[in-house]
Structure 1
Amino acid sequence: MNKQDQPDAAPDVVDRAGFDAALAEQIEAEKEVTRHGDRVSARRRRLPMVAVEDYSFTGPGGPVRLTEMFGDKYLLLVQNVMYGPDWDEGCPSCSWAVDNLPANMGRLAGEGIAFAMVSQAPIEKLERWRAQRGWNHLWVSSADTTYHYDWGWTRADDAGREGPLPGYSYYLLRDGKPYLTYATTARGTEAILPVAHIMDRTVYGRQQDWEDSPAGWPQYPTYG
């Protein structure tokens, strides 16, 4: 069985009044989530910022400095895509996240936000994977820099095994200098994954094995 097959399990059937009452209660709970999100966002806007080295990455045409990745914008979103130096392919989850980006990236540009991706793998590997996935985003390699180590995008586990982390870095260009204003990894990346949020609101959710779902609801390994 896979997600293309309709599950046997389904919600209880009630009359219209019962559904409206249950939905109203759910919406009220979701409104509190929204209000809490507004409060958290207000805190985020009050974070300090930290100066960042103007790293010289490697792009398809040669060196690309962090400040150059802003283009003519003053805000920059960088997706830290998991692609280790010795990997043959990019991370499936990170690739899925790239596929979740707006179809019209001009919507970001219209808000003064530039976008780029950074990985540790050599630029030749990144370009091959980018072509295979059909992406046209700027993707640079940090292989010849300390960027991934300086900012914790590559870490060692308890066994000493080293590997990259997924996530997003948000930068501000001020007086010609780049500053980090926010960064997130792990489930913090879900904020900009519309497909995940659409799945959340279907009756079966994401169908992942960590979810609290009714008995009989389909669930699959999260990283299977």
Structure 2
Amino acid sequence: MAPVPAIVDRQTWLRERAALLAREKAHTREHSAIAAARRRLPMTEVDASVRMVGEHGPTRVLDMFEGRDQLLVYKHMWHLDRPFEDQCRGCTAAVWNFHDATYLHARGVTFAVWCEGPYEQFAPFRDFMGYTHPWYSRHGVHSAGLTEENGICVYLRVEDRVFQTYETDGRGCEVMMPALQMLDMTVYGRQEDWEDSPAGWPQDPIQSWFRRDGRPIPQWTRPGATPVGQ
């Protein structure tokens, strides 16, 4: 049996919870302050005429905005010529956790995925996963501010010009994975070995919540997913 937290009376628990709540509120205020600073970043122009192959053929970056003013892009890694089960577990988790861009659209933001792989390779994967977001191939495309970094990038359209306003990678992409923030609320957390947890808390050094039985875990929800090798 895994260790459990100390057991205390209700009043003691309420005092401890109140102390943590003060820290949580400070964290929320700092989060808002960082977002305010992000809105004050300068921007840099990118080539709006660059084309990437999507569902409707070669598409200009300018047209990916779909008439909206902002474009938020997740840049998906791709392992060339590998089967679905061998594709990036982190990218799979991130995009799977964000199925619906309705609220982004309501604020004038289009969401799209730019994938490293050729369109003909990832299009069947997109269909298999049931994704409805537009996907475009950045395979073979080289343009500063558009294709060299992975993670999340944000662009602003000003008439026929396009500017990059923000980028993040690594744990910055966790914004797309609310399941992680929900796990952070639980007593055992994400159960990853880098976390600061009490001695004996369950931890998983191989991060099996990303991948299990030969596939990224979200793939097991899809019709036709079978054990690897069968």
44 and 222 in structure 1: CA distance in 2 versus 1, 3 angstrom threshold: farther
Q: Which amino acid aligns with 1:83?
A: W
| Structure 1 residue 222, shift from structure 2 partner | 5.3
Distance change >3 Å, CA 34–CA 138, structure 1 → 2:
same
- Once the two structures are superposed, the pairs formed by residues 98-109 of structure 1 within 5 Å of their partners are 98-101=95-98, 103-109=99-105
1:46-195 aligned within 5 A: 46-54=40-48, 55-89=50-84, 90-101=87-98, 103-147=99-143, 151-153=147-149, 165=150, 167-195=151-179
C-alpha distance in structure 1 between counterparts of 2:145 and 2:161, whole Å: 20
Sort the Cα spacing of 1:149 and 1:175 in 2 relative to 1 into closer, same or farther, 3 A: closer
Q: CA deviation at 1:109?
A: 0.7
Does the 8 A contact of 1:209 with 1:221 survive in 2?
A: yes
Are the counterparts in 1 of residues 93 and 177 from structure 2 also a CA contact under 8 Å?
no
Structure 1 match to 2:15: 21
Whether 1:196 and 2:209 are equivalent positions in the alignment is no
Q: 1:168 Cα deviation (Å)?
A: 0.4
- List, as ranges, runs of 4+ consecutive aligned residues in structure 1 with deviation greater than 6 Å: none
Distance in structure 2 (CA, Å) of the matches to 1:23 and 1:128: 48
Identity value in percent: 36
Do the aligned partners of 2:101 and 2:110 also contact (CA within 8 Å) in 1?
no
1:221 aligned residue = 205
Q: CA deviation at 1:173?
A: 0.5
CA distance in 1, matches of 2:125, 2:143: 21
Q: Any unmatched runs of 5+ in structure 2? A: 209-230
Residues 88 and 125, structure 1, Cα contact 8 Å, conserved in 2: no
Report the residue type matching 1:110 in the other structure.
A
- Tell me: CA distance 1:76–1:149, structure 2 relative to 1, closer, same or farther (3 Å): closer
Taking structure 1 as the reference length, what is the TM-score of the superposition?
Answer: 0.85
The alpha-carbon distance between structure 1 residues 39 and 222, as it changes in their structure 2 partners (threshold 3 A), is: farther
Specify the alignment match of 1:39 in structure 2.
Answer: 33
What TM-score do the two structures reach when normalised by structure 2? Answer: 0.83
The two structures, once aligned, show a CA RMSD in angstroms of 1.8
- For the Cα contact (< 8 Å) 1:87–1:121, is it kept in 2? no
